[in-house]
């Protein structure tokens, strides 16, 4: 990427970061989280990109037992000042996008959480790796699989971890469904449906700018159905077909998808039927069907509480902010070498990018696309 294009994207991003767009809804892993030992080392985190979603992360981290905010990175001085006071981050730990490479000399930072527009993730995560810090990157990890591979390779070369902000992979009701499936309680899985979408607002926001978002609804909200199909079925897909529908080409310009329907095929014969949209509300539903039973989650990926039921009854794990559990669990992964129930490493993110690339190819060609996620 040229310096001029990078500078353009950085400047555009800093002025465009908007509030989060997911709907707000108010066992095993929750029990593990509730018994986390606060005497163990704390993960010291720098937040990069102080926009709407970062606010959710920062607030949730106030309840973390093993993760805390120790540095801030933003191109807006007033935000650095405001957030520094609010979260007790001293001025010497404030950075901007030009000088954050200096964070390599800061022993008060273990990891940097990149929460910026999609097209900036690639360069920023590689810079984080070169600074010798662990990288946590918001989803989607990049705008295509090629960029994702370069990010994974850079972190491996630097000897640092790369984790993706897949908060649902730590959510207790979700993990209860995964446990039931693993224990054979649903029998052979036959079908999954994932509905992900909402009506997007401001037409000038960065999520509707292809240069910053890398696409449209699929990148932002459809990725939940992609990732959800994988962890709910418990396999990785081997083919995909897809169809795009666009009713408002003014709001959803070339390269910014409004609505995509896609279908995934899995090795065991299961199929998934999914919808990703920026132009429909009242969605956010997962449905898993097996020979012996079913699981339904609605809402399935919103900020919470997640609600669901199975053929055996209601799912009733108490709600804890997803980002609180996520950051404490990521502290355990980074500091203790913990293996989570569902992986959130860069390779999982890269596999999702390969699926997204294939969905876009399927839309353009009208042809089924074979997948190799190895």
Q: Which residues are catalytic?
A: 139, 224
Who's near 34: CB < 8 A, 6+ residues apart?
Answer: none
Q: Can you tell me the distance from the alpha carbon of 278 to that of 208, in angstroms, rounded to the nearest whole number?
A: 10
Residue length of the chain: 374
Q: Per-residue DSSP letters for 224-240?
A: HHHHHHHHHHTS--SEE
Q: Per-residue DSSP letters for 205-271?
A: SGGG-HHHHSSSHIIIIIHHHHHHHHHHHTS--SEEEEEEE-S-TTTS-TT--SEEEEEEE-TTS-E
Distance set, CA 96 to CA 84, 100, 123, 197, 228 (Å): 13, 6, 15, 33, 35
> CA Rg, the chain, in Å?
20
């Amino acid at each position: 990427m040229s310096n001029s294009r990078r500078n353009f994207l950085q400047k555009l991003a800093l002025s465009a970061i908007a509030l989060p767009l997911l709907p707000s809804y108010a066992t095993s892993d929750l029990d593990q989280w509730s018994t986390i030992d606060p005497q163990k080392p704390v993960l010291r985190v720098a937040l990069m990109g102080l926009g709407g979603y970062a606010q959710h992360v920062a607030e949730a981290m106030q309840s973390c037992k093993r993760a805390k905010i120790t540095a801030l990175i933003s191109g807006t001085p007033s935000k650095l000042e405001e957030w520094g006071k609010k979260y007790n981050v001293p001025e010497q730990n404030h950075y901007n996008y030009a000088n954050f490479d200096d964070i390599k000399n800061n022993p008060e930072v273990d990891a940097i959480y990149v929460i910026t527009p999609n097209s900036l993730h690639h360069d920023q995560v590689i810079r984080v790796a070169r600074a010798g810090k662990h990288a946590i990157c918001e989803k989607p990890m990049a705008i295509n699989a090629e960029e994702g591979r370069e990010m994974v390779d850079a972190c491996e070369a630097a000897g640092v971890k790369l984790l993706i902000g897949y908060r649902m992979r730590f959510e207790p009701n979700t993990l209860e469904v995964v446990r039931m499936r693993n224990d054979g309680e649903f029998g052979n899985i036959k079908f999954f449906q994932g509905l992900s979408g909402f009506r997007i607002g401001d037409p000038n926001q960065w999520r509707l700018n292809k240069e910053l978002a890398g696409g449209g609804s699929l990148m932002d909200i459809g990725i939940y159905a992609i990732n959800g199909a994988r962890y709910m079925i418990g396999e990785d897909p081997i083919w995909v077909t897809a169809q795009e529908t666009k009713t408002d080409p003014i709001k959803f310009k070339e390269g910014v998808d409004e609505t995509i329907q896609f279908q995934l095929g899995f090795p065991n014969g299961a199929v998934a039927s999914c919808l990703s949209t920026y132009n429909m509300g009242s969605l956010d539903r997962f449905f898993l069907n097996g020979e012996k039973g079913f699981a339904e989650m609605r809402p399935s990926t919103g900020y919470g509480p997640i609600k669901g039921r199975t053929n055996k009854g209601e799912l009733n794990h108490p709600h804890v902010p997803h980002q609180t559990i996520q950051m404490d669990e990521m502290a355990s992964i980074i500091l203790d070498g913990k293996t989570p129930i569902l992986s959130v490493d860069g390779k999982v993110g890269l596999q999702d990018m390969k699926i997204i690339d294939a969905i876009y190819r399927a839309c353009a060609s009208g042809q089924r696309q074979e997948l190799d996620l190895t």
